[in-house]
């Protein structure tokens, strides 16, 4: 197992590989994102991590990009490749898949499923 030097990394991509996301091509999406990163020689700029459930199962397959705090829904191998090219390398987020952006807190885009609030009313 390697310990990576992250000092050159501009983006950390968290790819859900929980049960619902795996049923919606989570593993294939992970591999496509990693292949596209390698194709562009961007391994030093983009770090990926497979996660377990990210709590947005109805939006599977979920991919999150930090430090921007952008959450994406319904990602596939093809949209994962687009994510690398358009968002991570060219700075153009995939608005058709965005469910949250980050300002001072996470802001829903209105494109994802309505979640259950943890705040007691």
Helix (H, G, I), strand (E, B) or coil at 97: coil
Distances from the Cα of 3 to the Cα of 6, 47, 50, angstroms: 9, 12, 15
Condensed to tens digits (0 to 9), the pLDDT of residues 75-102 reads 999 999 999 999 999 999 999 999 999 9
Q: What are phi and psi of 15, to 5 degrees?
A: -115, 115
DSSP secondary structure letter of residue 104: S
**Residue 40 DSSP one-character state:** T
pTM: 0.90
How confident is the model over 65-75, as a mean pLDDT? 97
Pure H helices in 1-121? 19-23, 26-39, 77-82
Cα 50 to Cα 14: distance, rounded to the nearest angstrom? 6
């Amino acid at each position: 197992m390697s310990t990576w030097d992250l000092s050159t990394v501009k983006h950390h991509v968290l790819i859900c590989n929980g049960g619902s996301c795996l049923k919606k091509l989570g593993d294939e999406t992970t591999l496509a994102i990693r292949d596209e990163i390698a194709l562009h020689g961007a391994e030093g700029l983009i770090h990926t991590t497979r996660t377990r459930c990210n709590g947005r199962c109805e939006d599977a397959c979920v991919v999150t990009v930090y430090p921007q705090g952008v959450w994406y829904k319904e990602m596939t191998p093809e949209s994962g490749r687009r994510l690398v090219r358009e968002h991570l390398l060219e700075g153009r987020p995939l608005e058709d898949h965005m469910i949250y952006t980050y300002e001072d807190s996470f802001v829903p885009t209105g494109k994802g499923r309505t979640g259950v609030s943890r705040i007691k009313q």
